Amino acid sequence: MAILVTGGAGYIGSHTVAELLAQGERVVVVDNLRTGHRSAVSPDARFYEGDIRDGAFLNGVFRDNEIEAVIHFAASSLVGESVQQPLDYYDNNLFGTHSLVRAMTANGVDKIVFSSTAATYGEPESVPILETAPTRPESPYGETKLAMENMFRWCERAYGLKFVSLRYFNACGAHPDGSIGEDHKPESHLIPIILQVPLGQREHIGIYGDDYPTEDGTCIRDYIHVMDLANAHWLALKHLRAGGASDIFNLGNGTGFSVKQVIDLARGVTGHPIPAAVSPRRAGDPAVLIASSEKARAVLGWQPRYDDLSTIIETAWQWHSRHPNGYGD
Ligand code: UFG
Atom index in ligand 1 nearest the CA of residue 207 equals 7
Residue (of 268, 261, 260, 256) closest to 307 by Cα position? 256
* DSSP secondary structure letter of residue 291: B
Is 67 a residue whose pLDDT tops 90? yes
* DSSP secondary structure letter of residue 120: G
Q: What's the alpha-carbon Rg for the chain, to the nearest Å?
A: 19
Q: How many CB atoms lie within 10 A of CB 8?
A: 30
Query: Any residues with CB less than 8 A from the CB of 310 and at least 6 apart, and which?
Result: 265, 268, 269
Of 170, 194, 263, 265, the one to substitute when testing ligand 1's pocket (max ligand atoms within 8 A of C-beta) is 170
ipTM of the complex: 0.97
Pairing of strands 220-221, 257-258: antiparallel
* DSSP secondary structure letter of residue 139: S
CA 320 to chain CA centroid, Å, is 19
Q: Which amino acid is at 136?
A: R
Query: Binning pLDDT at 50, 70 and 90, where does residue 247 land?
Result: very high
What is the rounded distance in angstroms from the CA atom of residue 278 to the CA atom of residue 47?
43
Residue (of 145, 107, 103, 139) closest to 122 by Cα position? 139
* pTM assigned to the model: 0.98
Of 214, 222, 282, 312, the one to substitute when testing ligand 1's pocket (max ligand atoms within 8 A of C-beta) is 282
Atom index in ligand 1 nearest the CA of residue 259 equals 14
**What's the maximum distance between 2 C-alpha atoms anywhere in the chain?**
57
pLDDT, tens only, 121-149? 999 999 999 999 999 999 999 999 999 99
Mean pLDDT of 53-82: 97
Query: What is the three-class DSSP state of 199?
Result: coil
Write down the pLDDT at residue 283: 85
pLDDT, tens only, 177-212? 999 999 999 999 999 999 999 999 999 999 999 999
- All structural domains of the chain, each given as residue ranges with its CATH number in brackets, are 2-172+223-251 (3.40.50.720), 190-221+254-322 (3.90.25.10)
